[in-house]
Homo-oligomer: A and B are copies of this chain.
Amino acid sequence: MKREQLTEKLLDIKREKGWTWKYICDEIGGMSPVLVVGALLGQMKLVKPLAKKAAELFGLSEVEERMLNEVPMRGAGTPMPPTDPLIYRFYELVMVNGPAWKALIEEEFGDGIMSAIDFNMEMVREPNPKGDRVQITMSGKFLPYKYYGNEQGIPDYGFKES
């Protein structure tokens, strides 16, 4: 059994039952919907208690439940550049704004990155008379490049070594 086969099965059940993602996330609970949906789509791992709940909801076998608890091969199955317009717009934001983000984050935080692992994200509908908006709040831990061999801690005036 491959993870994508499990994903296809879960989507078949969701369609048959007429469930929404909201209903599914409420039933499984315990984690951000982006992560729960991501796991059901084969991109994230469900921790054991949630995998158990998902298995009950979808009527999965024990082996399928265990597979939901496995770390999948992330990124598999998403063509890059994305062909789907909804996903492509995010890709475009990275391509067009990436250099500016780099400049501003490095000036504020020093040399490093925003973690894509210790990372949280929330999406809410922002009512707006000109047309509602998708509001996304992301928060990722800043991870400074470590300059090993610099044990005496030579500082770089301009940013602080964490």
Contacts and interface: CB of A to CB of B under 8 A. Distances in A.
A92 to B, nearest CB: 5
Q: Interface residues of A: mostly helix, strand, loop or mixed?
A: mixed
Contacts of A147: 31-32, 35, 47
Contacts of A140: 89, 133-134, 136
B43 A97 contact: yes
Interface of A: 1-2, 8, 12, 15-16, 18, 20-22, 30-35, 37-38, 41, 43-45, 47-50, 63, 66-67, 69-71, 73-109, 111-121, 123, 125-126, 128, 130-150, 152, 154-158, 162
**10 tightest Cβ-Cβ pairs between the two chains A and B:** A75-B83, A32-B149, A47-B156, A120-B148, A87-B98, A38-B100, A114-B134, A89-B116, A37-B100, A31-B149
